Amino acid sequence: MPLQAVEPKRLYRQIADQIAQLIANGEFPAGSRLPAERELAVSLGVSRTSVREAIISLEMSRLVEVRVGTGIFVTSQNAAAHGNSVDSGPGPFELLDARKLIEGEIAALAAKNGKPDDFDALARSVDTLEAHVDDFAAREAIDRDFHLRIAKATGNSSFELVVEGLWNQRAELWGRLQHHFHTHELALQTIRDHAAIAKAISARDPEAARTAMHRHITRVAREFQRGIDVAAQSAAAKPASPTKQPTLAAITRARGIKARD
């Protein structure tokens, strides 16, 4: 039999698959509450960020429901649904790390090579984003277009393909994370970030452009992490009914995650 390519599984998917299997095996019955994210992270030897990404993936498969201020509850024991999840690609925080490194340098190059038409297009994009601040779908499309316009301003079409590829990796898990934690104030901050990036590029200041892009993407990651921490603290603050609270023994016994954060 010929050898088949082996695709490394993302850490958050390893976590999600393990929890899904425990649910399917009856270790966590429907209606029971999972241990808090902090406890899961300690038992599995991973970060709370990876656990949160895994929980969102399980939400998408309708295996669990996150009730803010209460906890994570099992809604189904049908683990087969999880295997068919459309969720794919890197985790949101992994993707943000890549974007910070790559798009920071692209912004710096755009400041060197950009033309007046490019600068005008970026300014118009900021104005358009402000006009659609309360329209989530439109805001997402305008946000993507802004970053692609920066890549175009470098004069190198390969960078456009790179940025487009990064945005295409944003998968459904990214969208769920945004819906969980994005607020009107964060949308306004995105507009301010874009304005600062556009200003630095238009001023032909590569270092300022790089710094502004780094600051923008770091802020997004920080706000997502803050949302994760608040949700985890809220869930841990309210204990579940003793008859519904499973122990960590099952997860500790099943611990088999090979990759670490």
pLDDT score for 137 = 83
Find out if CATH 3.40.50.300 is the number for domain 92-229.
no
Roughly what angle, to the nearest 10 degrees, separates helices 184-202 and 206-237?
170
Q: What is the pLDDT of residues 99-144, one digit of tens each?
A: 999 999 999 999 999 999 999 999 999 999 999 988 888 998 999 9
Supply the DSSP symbol for 70.
T
Percent of the chain with pLDDT over 90: 38
* From-to residues of CATH 1.20.120.530 in the chain: 92-229
C-alpha pair distances (Å), 12 with each of 35, 82, 129, 246, 247: 17, 13, 32, 21, 21
The runs of H, that is alpha helices, within 7-115 are 11-24, 37-44, 48-60, 80-83, 92-113
- Which stretch of 154-168, 169-183, 198-212 has the lowest confidence by average pLDDT? 169-183
pLDDT of residue 145 exceeding 90, the answer is yes
Question: Which tens digits make up the pLDDT trace of 26-76?
Answer: 888 888 999 888 888 888 888 887 888 788 778 777 788 877 678 889 987
Identity of the highest mean pLDDT range in 29-38, 82-91, 196-205, 216-225: 196-205
* CATH architecture of the domain formed by 11-87+230-254: Orthogonal Bundle (1.10)
Of residues 84 and 68, more confidently modeled: 68
Nearest Cα to Cα of residue 261 among 97, 82, 85: 97
Sequence-separated (6 or more) residues with CB below 8 Å from residue 64: 19, 23, 34, 55, 58, 72, 73, 74, 75
Q: How far is Cα of residue 10 from the mean position of the Cα atoms in its chain? A: 13
Query: Which residue intervals of the chain bear CATH 1.10.10.10?
Result: 11-87+230-254
| CA atoms of 224 and 255, how far apart (whole Å) | 27
pLDDT at position 6? 40
Mean pLDDT score of the chain: 81
CB atoms under 10 Å from CB of 61, counted, come to 21
Percent of the chain with pLDDT over 70: 73
Residue 101 · residue 214 · CB < 8 Å:
no
